[in-house]
Structure 1
Amino acid sequence: MDPIKYIFEKPALTERIARWQMLLSEYDIVYVTQKSIKGSALAEYLAHQPISDYQPMQPEFPDEDIMALFVENKEDKNEKAWTVLFDGASNVMGHGIGAVLIFPENQYIPMTARLCFNCTNNIAEYEACAMGIRAAIESKAKILNVYRDSALVIHQLKGEWETRDTKLIPYQAYIRGLIEYFDSITFNHIPREDNQLAYALATLSSMFEVDQDAELPMIEMKSRAEPAYCHFIEEEVDGKPWYFDIKHYLKTREYPEKASENDKRALRRLAGGFMLSGDILYKRNHDLVLLRCVDAKEAELVLKEVHEGTFGTHMNGHSMARKILRAGYFWLTMENDCCTHVRKCEKCQVYADNINVPPTTLNVLSAPWPFSMWGIDVIGAIEPKAVLTPSLS
């Protein structure tokens, strides 16, 4: 980390390091490692971040008769702030921009466009900002908050940084003309994690070639908390086990009825890790050990026997799943089922290794014997050094 110390204290010198050491030897430099000064850490931090508009504190209260102070809200009650998130993307595939207009009622309007001309990443940023501001003007917004994770564009639009690129000066003048349509507009810098939706729209438009004659597809996004196979493996409403289609394919090489091409391809890829011996289906483990596939009823019996059976030690869910694999059994939701079974075990809840020590020391409330003899009640504990003995007088 310290180049001067590295040059003077390296035992084996290379050609370039030896040359530097030779050049520095004429100055009689003696290297001493500086000790850490914790007291100057705050002073160095304040020195690197000076405040231009510093004002001394005034502790005197202007009027002692004032009971409370309220900040006047400048925004009209009927006019709430709108929000615009924008981002631009430039890569080998092309250039794209994305923006998100957020209504005061938390309604989102995503917008995306592909730039069919040569531009830089900063030009794409200004194009995305202009698209979002124009959408806010069309929606008749009067108070607007603009957010972006690019510090360069935000500080240039706020006027804090100078714009030297001749290609960006017309964009900056154009956006300043759009600002006049609003009563109040602010530009704010946010981290990349808070601008993921606009970033995804910009990346999608940069990698997707738009055909002006064809109709664009509508993208629908959903959220799923569980894998797709969990919904029909656990239920088994038709009375068939979860491995029925895999077993039927390995036996007859036939696909299920009404199966699409994607389903057939997924079934072939999934069946490659299984082997059928007679009427029993086995799963090939990573160490080529064959594991017997069991259905939901057999899996429940295996869970009870391994967890609280003859040799069961009431282990946790992950350890129990590994023990079941060593025993030679397999099903797809094994680890999740083991953790759920452990949480429902009554003995694990009763005899759990809980810490029963109180967080603080307990105080004795009984009085010492000298005070109890003279009829004096003492509340609370007294340390041994503070115990007083009554005098005979």
Structure 2
Amino acid sequence: MSNLEAAGRVALWAIELSEFGIQYRPHSAIKGQVVTDFIVEFTNRESQEVEVYPRWSVHTDGSSNWQAGEAGIVLRSLEREEIECMVCLNFPTTNNEAEYEALVTGLDLAKAAGAASVVIHCDSQIITNQVNEDYECKGEWMKNYLEQVKRRVDDLRAEVVQIPRGENERADRLAKAVSAEHMIISSKEAARKLKVQAARFVMIKDNMYKRGFSRPYLRCLNPKEADYVMREVHEGIYSNHSGSRSLVHKLIGAGYYWPTMQKDAQTYVKACDKCQKFKNVIRQPMEEFTTMTTPWPFAQWGLDIMGSFPMAMRQLKFLIVSIDYFTKWIEAEALATITEKNVRTFVWRNIVCRYEIPKALVSDNTK
């Protein structure tokens, strides 16, 4: 084929393909793709396989109230066997501390059951992120909890995962069951105490009396009756405006009782006008006496130099101050420079000439 025929064919193909808008670009280098294909082809796939351990599943939840804390744990083995555990924390805790207690207990149970790898499911975002080091743990008490959990997590190759509260219903139910049981026990204890206290009282002709060991029955008074009896005993016809302690003894001796009589007597005596006017004057000072370093005024002075300050008029930038130890009187003067002559002049003019020669001059706590 001649060159003319070849050129004609090329021109013909160019005309035919021009309607498709084809653009011709030079072929780029393929070195990077070749290297990538080589690595993928000759990489040992067996080395990329990660050893997978069968994992136990643990769900934990904790809660707290004003009196104690509770923890609920659900442990599931590889054979799908489940163990439920409820723990009552007989000490005041916060919600986060109760969550940590539940987490520590769940890890200990998994280790005792022979688990080699564990997944911990917890619905607390704070606890989960602190264990996974996404949140910073503050407070010494919480840091101690976190150290305990991390040590157990490393031993069991455990993973702590946060789940919604709805998926942690069983552990939450166990924690609430502990709380309900604890409330029942507390109610029984309160009922027992109330029964013991009720045994000290007796009803006689629609009136309540308190039993005593070495005295007759004491008539129990309501607040209105107690106020009237207390007023009669304290400032009645034979009263002597005694103090609160004596007033309580007189009330008991008269055969009366109510639970808050000691507190009510103190409040009543403090509000009594005559007691405030004619009671004994307490001459003991409210605070301890402060020992004086000098027995008379202007006998001992403290000197100090302050500065340098921003320069003022007449280039004054230093301050010499003298304070009397007895009266706390202050003498001060601004100086341009600190020299022996200036200090001597200040002492002569402001101390000696005004308050006579002092007994001591103290500078920097040294005489």
TM-score (norm 1): 0.35
Q: Which has the higher strand share?
A: 2
Greater C-alpha radius of gyration: 2
TM-score (norm 2): 0.38
